[in-house]
Amino acid sequence: MILLIGLNHKTAPLAVREKLFAGCEEKQNLLSDVLLLPAVQEVLYISTCNRIELVCVADGEDKTIEALKRFLAQNGSLTDEEAFYCLYVYREAEAIRHMFRVAASLDSQVMGEAQILGQVKEAYRQALKQNATGLVLNRLMHRSFRTAKRVRTETAIAANPVSVSFAAVELAKKIFGSLSGKKILLIGAGEMAELTGTHLIGNGAEEITVANRSSAQGTALAEKFHGKAIMLTDLDAALIEADIVISSTGAAGYVVTAESIRQSMRKRKNRLLFLVDIAVPRDIEPTADSIENVYLYNIDNLQDIVDENMAGRKKEALKAEAIVEEEVILYNSWIKELEAVPTIVSLRSMAEGIVQSELEKSLGWMQKLSEEDREKVDNLVQSVVNKILHAPVAVMKEESSEVSSKGIVDAVRQLFRLDE
């Protein structure tokens, strides 16, 4: 059975997501530890700023589900209440559907954003690297990627780029009216910073400074925007000059403290400072929002802007959901067919054994035949066997694609005495 257990931006506030994210990131052998749990055969771990999920192949019993929930709760230091209200569990078709929707960005905070597919692919790469997946999850992931591709090519859900970074830029435009002449400080030089910088340039920003721990990465991004790069150690000076600060590092603690902002505000004579923290865990100390003339927004605060930009995508989402349902049916049929595969293999193996045995008994008179005639006899026997087996094999496949094939499989095993 496929199980999916986790939490996301719909079920858990940012503070809870941060705890679980940090706890799981610190765990060196997360996938191998999950595989040590009873009845877990395959596992994949997906972790983004908006979701932490385990996708498993397991027996589906209550004790297994409770063990997986307890694993996540303990690693994230979640309270019993947080685990109860924030963690969700999907089984079989629900889990398959959820995975396809995640990959196709239908379950993202910003529907249609492209980042999530790359994050899911990276999660799969890590699982493959650790030999944590097998036949079922490998097929599930490839079907997820196929579904995402279909959604992007067959719908316009990704038209007019919308993302958290785009929403941050839209919010800055609402605060300042125009970005022309504003000094921008990007903290971090990863993919999110690059997306944000691209949106800023597209909306009139001209002076961009990139602050990053790695000088080479920061310089490369700054050059792309014709800006300048600084080290994180020079942040205090940069805060004095900046009008808009957008932070998206992967740091474990606060990169910008409330005290450093308070000191910079004195030197900038309380000139308005707009801060957007799109990192998980957060980069900017939340209490900075209480400082006069400082406007601080985090990922959850961007939801209103995201909602405004989503209006044009809702119609396309209906088409996308229909594609997901088609793919769920196809994958579910394949899963159900797996139940019949061992019996089909056993049936063919038994028939081939009988053929070989009978041909060996006939060697006496068959040796008198020419090689060509012996081949004709062999082909004739194989053809008869295939025609006899065709009906039971076809029925098992057909039945298993519609419902559980256990009944028909058991009947075939009994009729042909495959277990003797």
What's the pLDDT tens digit per position in 236-251? 999 999 999 999 888 8
Domain with CATH 3.30.460.30 in the chain: 2-160
Q: What b/e sequence results for 305-332 when a residue is b if at least 16 CB atoms lie within 10 Å of its CB, and e otherwise? A: bbeebbeebeebbeebbebbeebbeebb
Those residues with Cβ within 8 angstroms of residue 142's Cβ, 6 or more apart along the chain or in another chain: none
Which of 5-9, 115-119, 176-180, 196-200 shows the highest mean pLDDT? 5-9
Strands (E), 228-326: 228-231, 244-247, 273-277, 294-298
Closest CA to 162 of 139, 195, 190: 195
Q: Sorting pLDDT into bands at 50, 70 and 90, what band is 29?
A: confident
Residue 404 has pLDDT above 60, yes or no: no
- Spatial separation of the C-alpha atoms in residues 167 and 248, rounded to whole Å: 14
Residue 278 binned pLDDT confidence (cut-offs 50, 70, 90): confident
Percent of the chain clearing pLDDT 70 (strictly above): 91
* Cα 380 → chain centroid: 51
Every domain range in the chain assigned CATH 3.40.50.720: 164-302
Domain spanning 2-160: CATH superfamily:
Glutamyl-tRNA reductase, N-terminal domain (3.30.460.30)
pLDDT tens string 299-346: 888 777 777 767 777 788 889 999 999 999 889 888 777 666 666 676
* Active-site annotation holder among 24, 49, 56, 86: 49
49-79 pLDDT, tens digit per residue, is 789 999 999 887 888 899 999 999 988 889 8
Domain made up of 164-302: CATH architecture: 3-Layer(aba) Sandwich (3.40)
> Is 56 a catalytic site residue?
no
- pLDDT(141) > 90: yes
Can you give the pLDDT at residue 396? 67
> What is the rounded distance in angstroms from the CA atom of residue 253 to the CA atom of residue 283?
7
Average pLDDT, the chain: 85
Give the DSSP letter string of 367-411: TTS-HHHHHHHHHHHHHHHHHHHHHHHHHHHHHHHHS--HHHHHH
